Amino acid sequence: MLETIVCTLDISNSFAEFADKFDHDEAPGREAKGIKVLYRGVANNNPSKVVIVVQAETGVIAQHMQDNAARFVENGALVHTAVVTSYKQC
């Protein structure tokens, strides 16, 4: 079953730098696990707030987030601010 995750979080760098690392440094790890990025963007009124929407088989994304938390922090994610909502396709 597919699961869609919507995650909002703060970043410690510019969105351009964060997006570059997200799109290039982190992409191979997501691709290897079949995680599809549906959307990533920055808030209109807060350049330090981002949203990421990803989709994969149930449980894959949560495990990926746990396994790569240190890398996400290195790339500018303030993981302690993350608000994660999971949606299942029926």
The domains of the chain are located at: 2-88
CA distance 28 to 48: 25
DSSP 4-69: EEEEEEEESS-HHHHHHIIIIISHHHHHHTTPEEEEEEEETTEEEEEEEEEEEETTHHHHHHHHTH
Residue 61 pLDDT exceeds 80: yes
Mean pLDDT in the chain? 96
Right CATH for 2-88 from 3.40.50.1970, 1.10.3720.10, 3.30.70.100, 2.60.40.10: 3.30.70.100
Q: Read off the pTM.
A: 0.94
Q: Per residue in 68-80, pLDDT tens?
A: 999 999 999 999 9
Q: Per residue in 32-55, pLDDT tens?
A: 999 999 999 999 999 999 999 999
Note the pLDDT of residue 90: 74
pLDDT grade, residue 89 (50/70/90)? confident
